[in-house]
Structure 1
C-alpha cells in the first residue's frame, strides 16, 4: 500500500513541479519519476535547512513538488532544455 501511495504522491508532486517550472506536464511516467525523486531531494533539502512541514499527504506533495522543481532546474542547467 505504501508503494501505491508513493506513486500517487509522486505523480501529483511531479505534475505540480513541472507545471510550476515549465508550464506543462511531462507525461504520467516522468511526473511519477520526477515526483518520487523530488520527494527525496525535498526531504533532504528540508532536513539540511531544519524545516518541517509535518506529516501526511499534503506536506509530502508540497515537499515532492519543491524537490521536483529543484531537479527540473538542475536538468535545465545541465542540458539547456529550452522552454516552449
Structure 2
C-alpha cells in the first residue's frame, strides 16, 4: 500500500476508534497517528493470533480499528480525560 493509502486508512481507523471509545475525534492529526499506530499494533496482535496478513481493504481497516481502539484506551488510561 502506498503512503497516501496508509494515511487514508489511518485517518479512517483513528476516527472510527475515537467514535467507539469516546464518541469524539481527537483532531485529524492525532486521529491519523492513532490509526497508523493502531494498524501496526493490530497487525502484530492478529499476526500473533495466527491470522495471515493481507486480505484487502476491509480486513486492513478492521485490524487497524481494533489496534487503534487498544491504543486509544491506553492513551486515555495514561493521560486521563482532561477537559479544558
Q: Deviations over 1:19-50 (max 9, x none)?
A: 10111111111111110000000000111112
Q: What residue is the counterpart of 1:70 in the other structure? A: 70
Distance 1:44 1:51 in 2: 10
Distance 2:81 2:41 in 1: 21
Q: Is the 8 A contact 1:76 1:82 kept in 2?
A: no
Structure 1 unaligned spans of 5+: none
Moved over 6 A (4+): none
Q: Kindly report the root-mean-square deviation, in angstroms, between the aligned alpha carbons of the 2 structures.
A: 1.9
Q: Is the 8 A contact 1:10 1:34 kept in 2?
A: yes
Distance 1:26 1:5 in 2: 21
Q: Which moved more, 1:7-16 or 1:52-61?
A: 52-61
Aligned length: 83
Structure 2 unaligned spans of 5+: none
Using structure 2 for the length normalisation, give the TM-score.
Answer: 0.87
